[in-house]
Amino acid sequence: MLGIRLYMAQRISAMLIAPLMLVHLGVMVYAIQGGLSAAEILGRTQGSLMWGLNYGLFVLAVSVHAAIGLRVVIYETFGLTKKSLDVFTVVIAVVLLVMGGRAMYAVVLS
Amino acid sequence: MPQKISTITARVWRGDSSGGRYEQYEVPAKDSQTVLDVVTWIQRKIDPNLTYRFSCRVGMCGSCAMTVNGKPRWTCRTHVEKVLEDGAITIDPLRNLPVVKDLACDLTEFFSKWIKAEGRFVPKARRNDPIQIISPRDKRRQEANTGIECINCAVCYAACDVVENNEDYLGPAALNRAWTLVNDVRDGGNKERLRAVSGIGGCQNCHSQQGCTSHCPNTLNPTRSIAGLKRAAFSAALKGEI
Amino acid sequence: MIKPHRNQPLWYAYILHRFSGVLLAVFLPFHFYVLGLALSNTERLDSLLNWTEQPLVKFAEFVLVFLLAAHLFGGLRLLVLEFLPWRPIQKTLAATAAGVAFFLALAFLLRAI
């Protein structure tokens, strides 16, 4: 239940996420040694423009990507009408955007 | 050396769109026997009411496509000894299509999606125009040639999960046909065609599972064609053409 | 259990991609909530990070990292399939994507324990 434009948004967001996700995976594998702590995470991310941009773009792209991806799965599993699907898509995107934005603010700007 | 068996057990689905059940038949095993031979034997010797389709019986027309042990295939090209499981085979009508009766499906939606995908040639040239020379080495012609052998047997349609889960999805065969025409330099209908293959039910719904490619008896690759349509539709959309 | 017409490598690639995508999407709100604790309650964040040191949680993280990497590399395979000219080695690429994802997740686990 995808029009061409939603499909394009899905693929473009994927292309944006790919390099950011590779960085994220790299950070995860690097940082996990010796356990995690709030101080360690915040020491890396707080006040950093680079991490702010990284995670900011990440949250934006992931909100779009996940919302559209789930839309397809929900439709193919439950077969809802376009209207219901549109509602789901927007709600998922907004929830991820808001929660993600808050998380980004928490680790970079607080 | 496999043990020679004298009979095989055929479980055949009998019924129509309102429902049905499996009937079991014991069929004498013969050398080089195909699943179509089995179905034909049942209809001639046991139950004349068994409904099924076939035509050429030599793997050219695609009429005899059915589900054999869960997989969509041409029954005239399926040797029984290759698909027997514990001396038995299960035969169903093709998946994803409404059943008319027993092993015969209604292919109306399959063919109407071919039309919906604008899978028909739109001529540009007129009668008195010189014949357009197209080299067989032309990249676009080669791309078209990879898909033109489709005989619309609906095996790919029956194999596709997206067809199963999305009733608007045009399906691998219709989209493959559209792609061959997108690559036909003599054709003038690409604007409408790209719009048709990128609307609701369009190529962008394909998940590239390659169920179509892995089951096509003509070894075509609709996944490849659909990927080509995705690229063409993406560019056209960026340029505002669709 | 898996229907015969689905029993082929690229269907498994599809189902892994779908399953990992859904699981990651469900995980995200929790992930964002926990990170948000850096703003509201750093002690709670630290105690939660401490809780993740348990072996079962570490194993769950390993699975999550595998799913993340599998979704990423599988997705890259799809982007190549859809945007670049066709290459026939799809099964090889799918297997490679899953393999690299597994080793990355293993690297994570070995550094975590």
Task: Provide ipTM, 2 decimals.
Answer: 0.92
**Residue of chain B whose Cα is closest to the Cα of C10:** B209
Domain identity same for B101 and B200: no
* Strand residue runs (E) in chain B: 7-16, 19-28, 65-68, 71-74, 88-92, 99-101, 104-105
Range of the domain at A8: 4-109
CATH number at residue B233: 1.10.1060.10
B30 lies in some domain: yes
- The count of structural domains within chain B is 2
- Cα–Cα distance between A48 and A42 in angstroms, integer? 10
> What is the count of residue pairs from A and C with beta carbons less than 8 Å apart?
90
- The terminus-to-terminus CA distance of chain C in angstroms comes to 36
For chain A, positions 3-62, list CB contacts with chain C under 8 A. 11, 14-15, 17-18, 21-22, 25, 28-29, 32-33, 35-39, 41-42, 62
B137 lies in some domain: yes
C-beta separation of B200 from A81 below 8 A: no
A76 closest CB neighbour out of B165, B234, B237:
B165
Last residue of a domain, one of B59, B85, B105: B105
C38 closest CB neighbour out of A21, A96, A110:
A110
Domain identity same for B97 and B214: no
% of chain C with per-residue pLDDT over 90: 78
Residue B91 has what pLDDT? 98
Residue A59 has what pLDDT? 96
Domain identity same for B37 and B155: no
Range of the domain at B76: 7-105
Query: Is the CB of residue A92 less than 8 Å away from at least one CB of chain C?
Result: yes
- Cα–Cα distance between A89 and A83 in angstroms, integer? 10
Q: pLDDT by residue (tens digit) across A53-107? A: 999 999 999 999 999 999 999 999 999 999 999 999 999 999 999 999 999 988 8
C-beta separation of B52 from B39 below 8 A: yes
Task: Give the tokens for residue B60.
Answer: 């050219």
Q: What pLDDT band is residue A46 in, cutting at 50, 70 and 90? A: confident
In terms of C-beta density within 10 A (0-12 exposed, 13-18 middle, 19 or more buried), how is residue B47 classed?
middle
Residue C113 has what pLDDT? 84
> How far off is chain A from B221, nearest CA to CA, in Å?
22
Domain identity same for B199 and B91: no
Domain identity same for B125 and B230: yes
Domain identity same for B198 and B118: yes
Best interface-test mutation with A: which of C45, C67, C79 has the largest number of A CBs within 10 A?
A: C45
Query: Is the CB of residue C80 less than 8 Å away from at least one CB of chain B?
Result: no
pLDDT for C14 beyond 60: yes
Last residue of a domain, one of B105, B139, B158: B105
- Cα–Cα distance between A61 and A47 in angstroms, integer? 22
- Walk me through the domains of chain C, giving residue ranges and CATH numbers: 4-112 (1.20.1300.10)
Verdict on whether the full-model pTM lies above 0.80: yes
Q: pLDDT by residue (tens digit) across C68-95? A: 999 999 999 999 999 999 999 999 999 9
What residues of C are in contact with residue A105 (Cβ under 8 Å)? 39
Predicted confidence pLDDT, tens digits, chain B (242 residues): 456 789 999 999 999 999 999 999 999 999 999 999 999 999 999 999 999 999 999 999 999 999 999 999 999 999 999 999 999 999 999 999 999 999 999 999 999 999 999 999 999 999 999 998 999 999 999 999 999 999 999 999 999 999 999 999 999 999 999 999 999 999 999 999 999 999 999 999 999 999 999 999 999 999 999 999 999 999 999 999 98
- The count of structural domains within chain A is 1
For residue A20, the 8-state DSSP code is: H
C14 closest CB neighbour out of B67, B209, B224:
B209
- Cα–Cα distance between B173 and B222 in angstroms, integer? 7
B200 lies in some domain: yes
Residue by residue, DSSP assigns B138-193 as: -HHHHHHHTTTT-----HHHHH-HHHHH-TT---HHHHHHHHHHHT-TTB--HHHH
CATH number at residue A56: 1.20.1300.10
Domain identity same for B81 and B44: yes
Best interface-test mutation with A: which of C35, C40, C110 has the largest number of A CBs within 10 A?
A: C35
Residue B2 has what pLDDT? 57
* Mean pLDDT value across residues C37-56: 86
Task: Give the tokens for residue C11.
Answer: 């269907």
B99 lies in some domain: yes
Q: What is the dihedral of CA C4, B48, B19, B172, to 10 degrees?
A: 40
CATH number at residue B67: 3.10.20.30
Last residue of a domain, one of B105, B138, B154: B105
Domain identity same for B33 and B145: no
**Residue of chain B whose Cα is closest to the Cα of A80:** B166
